[in-house]
Chain A
Amino acid sequence: MEFFHKVPHINFLAARKLAMGMSVAVLIIAVVSLAIHGLNFGVDFTGGVTVQVSYPQPADLRQIRETLGTAGYKDAIVQNFGTPEEVLIRLQPKKGVSGKDTGSAVLTALQKASPQVKLEQVNFVGPEVGKDLATKGALAFFLTLTGILLYIWFRFEWRLALGGVAATLHDVVFTVGFFSIFHLEFDLNVLAAVLAVMGYSVNDTVVVFDRIREDFRITRKGTPFEIINLAVNQTLSRTIITSGVTLLVVIALLILGGPVLHGFSVALFVGIIVGTYSSIYIASATALMLGVSKKDLMVRVKEDKKVDDMP
C-alpha cells in the first residue's frame, strides 16, 4: 500500500503568503481571546478545591447546587464528569473554613441530602502552589524554546533555527488560544500536553529541515524556493503517515481515555494538526523569507562516516 507512488509535485510554498496571513490572523484572534477571556485555569493553577463524588443513580445537579448553596457555597461550579453518576464540584474555600477542610465540609453537606453519595477525589491547592506551578510552567516553556533554538542553530543554520522556533511558538499559542476561545479547562495535564506538542512540533520540523539541507547539498540547480518545495513534497508521505498514526493514538485516548485524559487529548489533537501544518508553512516559509540559500547549508565539517560505524 502506498499513498504516493511518485514524489508529488504540489506547489506548497506558492500559498505561503496566504497561509502566513491566515496564521497571523488566527494567532491575533488567539492572543486577543487570551487577553480578554484569559484561560479557564483549573484549580492546579488558581488554587481552590475540587471535589469529585459519585451517586448510585444519575445525579441531580440542580439539587446538588441547591444543597451547596444552603451550605454557603453559592459560587460552586457543579458539572457531570464523564458519566451522569459522576459529579465534579469546583469551589473556593469559604471564609473561616480553611481550604483543607472544605472537602469534608462539602461531602458532609451532600451526605445530609443524599446518604449514598461516595467521595471519589478531593483536590485542594493553596494559592502559593498554583502560582509556583504557573511560573515553573512558563520557565520550562521558555527554556525548552531556547534549547530548541540553540540545537537547530548548532546542527543547521540560524535562519532555520528561527523558523523552527517560530513554528513551535505558533503551535503553542494556537493550542493555548484554542483552549481560551472554547473555554476549555486548562489544568496540569493540559500543560503537559502543550509541552508535548512543543516536542512533537520540533520533531516534525526537524525532519523537514533535514530534507531541505540534504536537497540543498545534492541539487545543483534550482532556487531556494524550488528546493524547499521539493523537500516538503519528498517528506509529504512520511508527514502524513506519522501525523496520521499519532492522531490515531490520540483519538483512541480522546474516546477511551476517560474524562481525566480528555483535556490532554484535545490539546494533543489540536497541537499535532497545527504542528504538521506549521512545519511547512511557518518553519520552512520563515526560513525562505529570511533568505536561506545553498551556501548556508553546505558541509562545514566533513561528515564522512564509514559504513561500519553506522548502527
Chain B
Amino acid sequence: MLNRYPAWKNITVILVTVLGILLALPNLYGDDPAVQISENNATLTATTTTQVEQALNTAKLPYKSAVLNDNRILVRFNDTDTQLRALGAVKKTLGNNYSVALNLAPRTPKWMRAIGLKPMSKGLDLQGGVHFQLLVDLNAAVQTKLQRDATDIRGSLREKLIRYEDVSLSGDAINVTLRTPEDVAKAKKFIGTEYPELTVTPGSQPNTLTARMSPQNIQQLRQLAVEQNITTLRNRVNELGVAEPVVQQQGGNSIVVELPGVQDTARAKEILGATATLEFRLVDYGANAVLAKQTGHIPLDDQLFPDKAGNPVLLKRDVIVSGDQLVDAVSGYDQESGTPDVNVTLNSAGAAKMGEVTRENLDKPMAVLYIETKTEHTTVNGQAVSVHKKVYTVINVATIRGIFSKRFQITGLAQDEAQNLALLLRAGSLAAPMDIVEERTVGPSLGQENIKQGFYAALLGFVLVVAFIALYYKIFGVIADLAVFMNLVLTVALLSLIQATLTLPGIAGIVLTLGMGVDANVLINEHIREEVRSGNSPQASIHAGYRRAFATIVDAHVTTLTAAVMLFLFGAGPVKGFAVTLSLGILTSLFTAIMGTRSLVNWFYGGRNLKKLPV
C-alpha cells in the first residue's frame, strides 16, 4: 500500500530519536565554576578534603560541594567570583606541593555520568584560557646531537689510542682527520660500530673521514625531538596546575598547547618556553677572573662566565654533574638561614661523581651554572627570523663544606627563582628550542559573553524559522519543524559522542545546517504541493513528492558535504571546528529530512482515505 513504512524503518527512527535525545541531554545542564586540587606524587585523602573545606569556611566562601574522586578533589561554586577567591585561599592553605587549578565542572546528574554520557567540551573562545602554538627548531636538535657525537668521538678516539689531528663539525658532517692510514681504518671500524646512525665515508683529503646521518635517521631524530618536547611540555603544564590541558603535535614541527582557565599567561609562557639546565663545575680560584676578562687570556682548562651581577667567574671546563643526571628538585627554605633554596637529588652515576669530586676538593669553591636558551626575533632581509641564544649565568658559588653525593641544596636564590628553577629542573629539558609563534588569550567573562550571544542569536533564528515554516506549510510544516529540531538534537548528540570541542565557528556551523535541513523539507513540501496542484490524489502526491525530492536532496547534501570535507582536510583550527559541525549536521539533516519526516507522514496519513492535504 502507498505510504506505509515497514516496521524496521519506524523502529530505526524511534531508536535513533531516543538515543539522540539521551546523548544530547547532558548539554542542558551547564557547568559549575570549580576548583580542582590534585597532587602529583601522592594520593589524596579525606583529610585533605576536610582541610580544604575548613579553609573555605574560614574564608567565608560558600561552596556547593567538595568531592574526592579519581585522586582529585573537585570543589564546586555558585559563581566565578567565589571560585577565584577560593583558588587563592586553597593555594595558601595547601602550599606548594599540591596543584590547584580552575575548572568548569559539568552539572550532569550522577546516573548520566555513570553510563558515560558527557556534554561537548567548550573551546577556549567559549570558556576562556590560553592557546599557544610553538614552533620547534628541529635543525637545532640535529646540530646538538652531532655536536655531542663529535665531542664523544674525540674522547673515545683518545681512549682507544687512535691518533687523530682533528674532529670537527661543519654543517651536518663530522670531519675526522687522522695521522696514518692504519688509524683511518681503525677509526672507520670503531665509529661504524659505536655510532650505527652515522654513515662513515672517506673524506676529500687523505687520511680523513666524514660521518653523516642518513636522511631517515635525521627524520627519526626530528620526530623524536618533537615527541620529547611534547612530553616535557606535558610535564611542565602539569606542574602549572591546569585542569584539562591539551598538548598535541600539529603538522611536522608545531606543537599546540591549550590551557583552559589559565589567567596568568606571563607565567605560563615563561614556563613553557624556557629551556633551562644546570651544570655543576669547580671554580678556578687560582686565576684572576677580572684580569682574564680584560686581557682575554683565559687559562686553557677554564671558561669565563658572568654571574648574576655581571661579574666574571672562571670555571673549569670539566662538568661534574649536569641537569640530565638529576632525579628530583624541590624548592623550600634553608633550615638555618631561612632563605629560599632548591633541594636536589641526583641519580647514582651523578652521585658517585659528585662524591668523588667533593672528597678531593674539600673547602674549595664550586659553582652552579644555569644555562638557558632564549629566543630573539630579528629581521634579516625583510624576513622574520628567530635566533636561539644560549645564556650562561653562574647563579651560585659556594664552598664545599663536606662530602655530599646524592642529596644537597642550592642556595642564594630569590623565592620565585627557587620555585621556577625547581620546576624547570623537575620537568626535564627540551630536546630542541621552541618559539611561541601564536598566542590567543580569552578572558573568562568574554567566553561567557560569546556563548550567550551565539546562543541567543541561534535561538532567535531558530524560533523565526520554525514559526515561518509552520505557518507556511501547516501540518506538514510542523512535521518539518520537528525534523529540523531533531536535526539539532542529533548534531549535538553526535558532537557529544565524539567529544568534539564546541567553538564559536562551530555554533555557526550548526546554525548553517539548520538552514540545510529546512531546505530539504522545503523541497519535499514544494514537490508535494506541485503534485497536488497537477491533480493527483493526496496519497499519490505524498509518494511522488518524496520520490522526486529525494535525488535533489541527496545531490545538494553531497555537494555541500564535499565542501565541508575539504574544509576539514585543509582548514586549520576554527575552520576545522566549523567543518566538523557542518559535516555532522549534513548527515543528520539527510536522515531527519528523508527518513524522519517520512515516517511521521506515513504514520499520520499513510493508508488513510484523504480528501485534502494540509500542506
Which residues of A are in contact with B by a Cβ distance under 8 Å?
Answer: 1-2, 6-7, 47, 52, 93, 98-100, 103-104, 118-129, 132-133, 136-137, 139-140, 143-144, 147-148, 151-152, 155, 188-189, 191-193, 195-196, 198-200, 202-203, 206-207, 209-211, 214, 234-235, 237-238, 241-242, 245-246, 248-253, 255-258, 260-261, 264, 268, 307-308, 310-311
Contacts and interface: CB of A to CB of B under 8 A. Distances in A.
Given A1-B472, A203-B516, A238-B526, A121 B443 contact: yes
Interface residues of B, number: 88
Given A147-B562, A241-B522, A126 B449 contact: no
A126 B440 CA distance: 11
B575 A140 contact: yes
A174 to B, nearest CB: 17
A123 B461 contact: no
Given A122-B265, A246-B515, A253 B508 contact: yes
B453 A257 contact: yes
Contacts of A129: 133, 437-438
Nearest to B564: A199
Contact of B453 (A147, A191, A251, A261): A261
B599 to A, nearest CB: 9
Interface string B531-557: 001000000000100111011100111
Given A126-B384, A199-B560, A210-B555, A258 B453 contact: yes
Contact of A126 (B437, B469, B471): B437
Interface stretch (B18-26, B30-38, B565-573): B565-573
18 contacts: A103-B265, A121-B443, A140-B575, A147-B562, A188-B505, A192-B574, A192-B575, A193-B508, A195-B563, A235-B526, A238-B519, A238-B523, A249-B458, A251-B461, A252-B461, A256-B453, A258-B454, A261-B453
B114 to A, nearest CB: 36
Contacts of A122: 265, 439-441
Nearest to A98: B377
Nearest to B596: A311
Chain B, interface SS category: helix
B450 interface: yes
Which 6 pairs show the lowest CB-CB distances between chains A and B? Answer: A126-B437, A249-B461, A258-B453, A252-B461, A140-B570, A256-B457
Contacts of B450: 258, 260
Contact of A207 (B458, B556, B574): B556
B178 interface: no
A248 B559 contact: no
Contacts of A234: 530
Q: Which of B269, B563, B564, B573 has the most CB of A within 10 A?
A: B563
Interface of B: 6, 9, 125, 133, 135, 265-266, 269, 273, 375-377, 384, 435-443, 445-446, 449-450, 453-454, 456-458, 460-462, 464-465, 468-469, 471-472, 504-505, 508-509, 511-512, 514-516, 518-519, 522-523, 526, 529-530, 533, 543, 546-548, 550-552, 555-560, 562-567, 569-575, 578, 582, 594-595, 598
A257 B562 contact: no
B595 A311 contact: yes
Given A6-B533, A151-B558, A207-B552, A191 B575 contact: yes
Q: Which of A104, A137, A195 has the most CB of B within 10 A?
A: A195
Contacts of A98: 375-377
A19 B247 CA distance: 53
A99 B570 CA distance: 27
Q: Which of B375, B546, B552, B573 has the most CB of A within 10 A?
A: B552
A196 B438 contact: no
B579 to A, nearest CB: 8
Contact of A202 (B443, B472, B563, B570): B563
B443 A120 contact: yes
Nearest to A237: B526
B559 A196 contact: no
A251 B511 CA distance: 12
B439 A203 contact: no
A214 B551 CA distance: 10
A195 B567 contact: yes
B575 A148 contact: no
A237 B570 CA distance: 36
Nearest to A52: B446
Contacts of B377: 93, 98-99
Nearest to B527: A238
B575 A144 contact: no
A189 B519 contact: no
Given A203-B516, A206-B555, A264 B508 contact: yes
